[in-house]
């Protein structure tokens, strides 16, 4: 298995959408630039959703136009065909779709059941394939381990949704622990199962740290062969369906763990901590990674050998 792990930064979208303070387009752009400056090559920068429903995502079209770094692979979330049209018009060519595994979650979130949500995803994927410019579509299977309304989700259901999305032509399926209900044993069980069916290259994982098991779940998925993970700078985020939930696992914690385990990410931790500081400054609510204080103290000692961090 490859020793290289890709970190997809989701703080500017998944992290910011649930914050009380709404950042301006320029503030969001400054955060994305700081993240990219640390060597992060993949960033979810915003969402083409109703600004009335998600005020924090207003101005995503303007934000996309400000991104000039050709080395940055940026993506945006789209909920439906209208979102696709707006994203495509803006110039975005890496688009993320979401379908929850549970009917209740889909009905409360997007007012349609799972089957209707899946049909919408497939329609968008087919439309993307007809465009003159190449469009990369990734799909998230939300509540892949646990739904706040229906409890633990059966693996066969996740298998079915994943298979349909792959057959439709997505480039990646991201298994999302939307409310942070997964544990390492269940994570390894599901990912071993899916990897045995589809291989590891088309699969990615997205973990929240609600129950302080984000890093443990990433480790479990690593042992299943997964080499791509979402993370959120300074632990930004949360879930409106899981009151009090913390955000995605913090990017700085994930990168530290991977480096200490010998994996390569291409990310500079010192610069990543600067981006984390900026996220905390801009939002006033980002908690920062759990290892952030230790990391800063360690780096400030100017050790010659920093290869393991």
Q: Which positions are annotated as active-site residues?
A: 239
Question: Which residue from 201, 198, 289 is spatially nearest to 247, judged by alpha carbons?
Answer: 289
State residue 285 phi and psi, 5-degree precision. -135, -15
CB 112 within 8 A of CB 88: no
CB 96 within 8 A of CB 78: yes
CB 269 within 8 A of CB 308: no
Q: What span, in angstroms and rounded, lies between the C-alpha atoms of 17 and 169?
A: 28
Helix/strand/coil for 156: helix
Q: What span, in angstroms and rounded, lies between the C-alpha atoms of 192 and 197?
A: 9
H or E segment to which residue 17 belongs: none
State residue 252 phi and psi, 5-degree precision. -65, -35
Q: What span, in angstroms and rounded, lies between the C-alpha atoms of 291 and 243?
A: 24
């Amino acid at each position: 298995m490859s020793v290289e792990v890709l970190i997809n930064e989701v703080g500017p979208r998944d992290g910011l959408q649930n914050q009380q303070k709404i950042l301006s387009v320029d503030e969001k752009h400054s955060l994305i630039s700081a993240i990219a400056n640390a060597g992060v090559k993949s960033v979810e920068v915003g969402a083409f959703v109703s600004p009335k429903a998600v005020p924090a995502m207003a101005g995503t079209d303007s934000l996309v136009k400000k991104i000039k770094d050709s080395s940055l692979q940026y993506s945006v979330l789209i909920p439906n065909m209208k979102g696709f049209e707006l994203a495509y018009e803006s110039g975005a060519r890496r688009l993320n779709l979401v379908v929850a595994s549970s009917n209740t979650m889909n009905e409360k979130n997007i007012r349609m059941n799972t089957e209707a949500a899946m049909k919408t995803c497939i329609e968008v994927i087919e439309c993307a394939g007809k465009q003159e410019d190449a469009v990369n579509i990734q799909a998230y299977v939300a509540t892949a381990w646990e739904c706040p309304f229906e409890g633990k989700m059966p693996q066969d259901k996740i298998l079915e949704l994943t298979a349909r999305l792959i057959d439709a032509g997505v480039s990646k399926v991201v298994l999302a622990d939307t409310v942070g209900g997964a544990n390492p044993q269940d994570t390894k069980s599901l990912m071993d199962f899916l990897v045995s069916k589809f291989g590891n290259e088309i699969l990615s994982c997205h973990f929240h740290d609600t129950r302080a098991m984000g890093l443990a779940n990433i480790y479990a998925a690593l042992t299943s062969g997964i080499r791509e993970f979402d993370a959120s700078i300074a632990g930004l985020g949360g879930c409106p369906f899981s009151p009090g939930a913390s955000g995605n696992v913090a990017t700085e914690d994930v990168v530290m763990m991977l480096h200490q385990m010998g994996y390569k990410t291409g990310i500079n931790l010192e610069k990543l901590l600067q981006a984390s500081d900026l996220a905390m400054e801009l939002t006033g609510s980002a908690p920062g990674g759990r290892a952030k204080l230790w990391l800063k103290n360690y780096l400030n000692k100017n050790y010659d050998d920093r290869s393991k961090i």
